[in-house]
Amino acid sequence: MSLLLLDSASLYYRAYYALPESLTAPNGMPINAVRGFLDTVTAVVLNRRTTRVVACWDEDWRPAWRVELMPSYKAHRVAETTVSATDVAASASEDVPDTLAPQVDVLRELLPLVGIPVVGRPSAEADDVIADLSPQAQDVDIASGDRDLVQLVNDRVTMLFTGGSSASRGGQPWVVWDPHAVEERFGLPPSRYADLAILRGDPSDGLPGAPGIGDKTALALIRAFGDLTSIRTAAEDPGSSAPMTPAVRRRLMSAWPALDRADRVVRLVPQPDRVALPAPMDVDAHQALAVAQHWGVEAPTRRLLEAFDRSG
């Protein structure tokens, strides 16, 4: 079985900004995000010969437990006004374009009809769901533009990175990151990517990192000492060698409380209440095409259904 896990929000945001709003449904509503989302999934299914697809969903894009650990977590994305579509925003609302929110509801309706279950977990992001599901199959692709998911890559799990301009070259909207490619791209194995993100911080998610510790120093520390636990042990030892200089040691020691909290925010591991891989869904092609026709996406929906037939 070849399993494709979709980081759904990452894909529909990318599609929304990549395609023009002149792509509309018969009622005039922009449908660019739906169109791009379906086309991307079709391309992956055909290219990777995928047999099963699961759309992983943000039931809560900014979970309270993460905010409690790290109040700055995604704080810059919080909007003052509430977005109407409940699937786009949960306890707080993200600055989501008005013309995207209703398209998310269309995807929620259409995906199960083409045999793609939509899976979420209470108080969890799509990343958490992907961490739950990725160990449950032998051949897994993760489609996302979120680098945090790099930490899940291993000999069974490959990331199809859809972010950045390089992902669009040659007409293929992703680059393949297996363990070798991750090491070439970031200079460390996938299992150490979370340590890198925690040390250097991530402004896009509001994670501060250790002040004064950038990519170069963080990477040098990981290469020299290993994981965060080993780096902390080295920081507490005055006799540690380079790159644990006195200045780096001081910065790390003052930052450890924040780094410990960030570790729990960033690191993705299956949870005790993890979701199970859903059983294959029956395809309702007739209803799927009727819904797709209503929203002006009959052609991309038909292409996706045909792609499943060819891959299966």
What are 82-138's pLDDT values in tens digits? 333 434 333 334 567 889 999 999 999 999 999 999 999 999 999 999 999 999 999
What is the DSSP code string of 38-93? HHHHHHHHHHHT-SEEEEE--S-SS-HHHHHH-TTTTGGGB-SS--S-TTT-SSS-
**2-186+276-306 has CATH 3.10.20.90 classification:** no
Q: What pLDDT does 86 receive?
A: 38
Look at 141-145, 150-154, 168-172, 247-251 and tell me which has the smallest mean pLDDT: 168-172
Sign of CA dihedral 40, 43, 46, 47: negative
pLDDT band at 171 (very low <50, low <70, confident <90, very high): low
The CATH number given to 190-266 is 1.10.150.20
What is the chain's mean pLDDT, rounded? 89
Span 211-253, pLDDT tens digits = 999 999 999 999 999 999 999 999 999 888 889 999 999 999 9
Q: Which amino acid is present at 219?
A: L
Residue 264 pLDDT exceeds 50: yes
Mean pLDDT of 11-28: 96
**HSE-up of residue 14 (Cα within 13 Å, Cβ side):** 25
pLDDT attached to residue 175: 94
Pairwise CA distance, residues 145 & 162, whole Å: 5
272 pLDDT above the threshold of 70:
yes
Q: Domain map of the chain by residue range?
A: 2-186+276-306, 190-266
| Residue 164 DSSP symbol | S
Nearest to 260 by CA among 217, 203, 208: 208
207 band by pLDDT with thresholds 50, 70 and 90:
confident
pLDDT of residue 93: 46
> How much is the pTM?
0.91
* Residues above pLDDT 70, as percent of the chain: 91
Tell me the pLDDT band of 140, cut-offs 50, 70 and 90.
very high
